Every structure is written in C-alpha cells, then in structure tokens.
Structure 1
C-alpha cells in the first residue's frame, strides 16, 4: 500500500513546482497590501488664476472649480489639486487638497489667502469622502473624474480631459 502512494510522489512534486509561481504571486500581492503607505512631501502650487479654473460641479449654494495648473498625480497615489468654491453671492474659498482613490478619502492641505499665499491646515488627517450634505464636490471628483473604483483614472492630463468632458484614448 505504501509503495502505491509513493509512486505518486514525483507527480505531486511536479504539481507543487508548477504552482510555486502562483503562490509567489499571491505572496507578493499580500506584501504589497501590507506595505505601509507613506505620503510624499507637500509642495504647494501657485495661487489659482481665473483663466485656469475649470468648473465641474454646482450645488444649490456654490459652484466648484479645479485649477488646471495645480492638478497632479503624486508618487504616493494621491491626486492633488487647488479647489475654488464660489458662493452664490460671489465669496470665494480656495483650498489645496488631496484625494485618495484607494481609500475614498480626502485631505485639506492648505487654505488660499487673498494675497495669493497659502495657510497650511492644522488638521493633518485624511477624512472619508461624504456624498451627502455640503461636501458632494469630493464625491463628484471621485466618481465622475478621478477614480475608477479604487484606482486612479489616469495621469493628470487624462483627468483634466475628463474634467473638460473629453474622452481620452490614453488610459
């Protein structure tokens, strides 16, 4: 009986060797997921200029635009951009923000001042994106322009084309 079982041993070894690359691929995926994410250093852009603003969302009380010159996809997988929110009465709020497709989060890096300088945010934290209330602009950026599921929808030029309503052929 033992001899019958032993005769299959070489076949099992061959099958094991054949499955080795598959198991290594799964191990590599697990290692990639286990790696601690690190945010790259912040570099604030120039203040937004009116000619570079691209409107993308309008709520009952505000309209929102992205400064096209500020939009970047950082090495850490964040999408960074200057956001200009304009109230129905004409008041403007400018912020520099980051969005993470992988985690459905947004972070406020800095506030724009009237003189064109930035005031860094004291809150150094990522927050879940809300699809209700006053902050639907982030959910709109996530779902309609910047992300495809948990993946960034492309390089900065592709994201800008999406914001402009163009279909890009270089995803």
Structure 2
C-alpha cells in the first residue's frame, strides 16, 4: 500500500490538471450533432450601453456587459461583449459566448484601441468554473444567462435579468 500512495497521489494531480479540458470534451460529446452557428462581431461597446454586474467582493475590478452586444443564437449560444476595468484604470474588452447546455464558454475576439476587434485563434469551448479567471463567466452564467442547462428565451430575458427585473414568465404565473 505504501508503494501505491505516490501513484494514487500522482494520479489525483493528473486528474485535477487534465480534468477541465476533458470535462469540456465530454460535455460537447453529449450533443454530437450540435453545430455552432455563424455570427458577426458586434460594434465596439458604447459607454452608455455598459451594464455593471457583480462578480465577487474579493475583486477590485469592475465588470460590465455591453447590452447592445447581447445575442441569443439559434444554436443556444448567448454571445456578449465583456468589459473589465481594473482599479488602476486598465480596460480589457472581449467578445465571448456561453453555452448553457454544456456549461462552457468561448472567446471569439479581443478589443483593441480604436474599437477594432482582433479574432482569437483558440476555438475551444472551455468549462465554466468559479476560479478567479473564469469568475465573470460563472457569475454571468449562474446569475444572468442560464437556467441550469437552459439558455434564456431571448435577448430581452437576459436584459431583464441584468437589470434585476422579474421575467415576464414569472410575472404571468406560468
């Protein structure tokens, strides 16, 4: 048994290190016929279209979603532009998508000065986990976009949730 302890411990470390990509692959395999739809990158975010949302009291950053960019695709992907502002004034702009059915997210493009987009080469869907890097996606997914594995009915539903309004579904008593 003493000889097995390092092997078991090493196996657990390997499982933890490699589980996130494996989980994303397994989740994607649950719907083998799923195809991601085409979409175009939105206009750069406007200051008046930014809606702040809570991510964590531990972060000094401010997190915003560009309301104008929110789109619920026929493929079940909710696409949006995320703006993160650090306490020091740096701004990070990304265009991303969340797929509720698989609990995954994808980065499409990063924003550059002058309002231009720079497409990313990585087309992998990654699992949404609550770690520091992924916390904005987890907050969006859990609090504003997904009902478990179900995406919102439409863009207006996401906007209502971000604004803290009750959904029309809940108001109608259905």
TM-score (norm 1): 0.77
Aligned partner of residue 138 in structure 1, secondary structure: helix
For 2:24, the equivalent position in structure 1 comes to none
Q: Which runs of 5+ in 2 are unaligned?
A: 1-29
1:83-162 equivalences under 5 Å are 83-162=82-161
Residue equivalent to 2:67? 68
Structure 1, unaligned runs of 5 or more? 1-32
Could you say which structure has the greater relative contact order, defined with CA pairs below 8 angstroms and 6 or more residues apart? 2
Task: Encode CA deviations 1:20-78: one digit per residue, 9 max, x unaligned.
Answer: xxxxxxxxxxxxx7551101113000000100000012442311111000000011100
Alignment partner, residue 36 of structure 2: 39
Q: State whether residues 52 and 68 of structure 1, in contact with CA within 8 Å, keep that contact through their aligned partners in structure 2.
A: yes
How far has the Cα of 1:122 moved from its partner?
Answer: 1.1
Deviation per CA, 1:78-121: give whole Å up to 9, x if none: 00000001101111000000000000000000001111110001
Give the distance between the partners of 2:143 and 2:121, measured in 1 at CA: 29
| Misfit runs of 4+, over 3 Å | none
1:6 aligns to what? none
8 Å CA contact 1:158, 1:170 repeated in 2: no
Question: Which secondary structure state, in structure 2, belongs to the residue aligned with residue 65 of structure 1?
Answer: strand
Q: Does 1:53 align with 2:50?
A: yes
Judging changes above 3 Å, is the alpha-carbon distance between structure 1 residues 150 and 58 closer, same or farther for their aligned structure 2 residues? closer
Following superposition, the deviation at residue 152 of structure 1 comes to 1.0
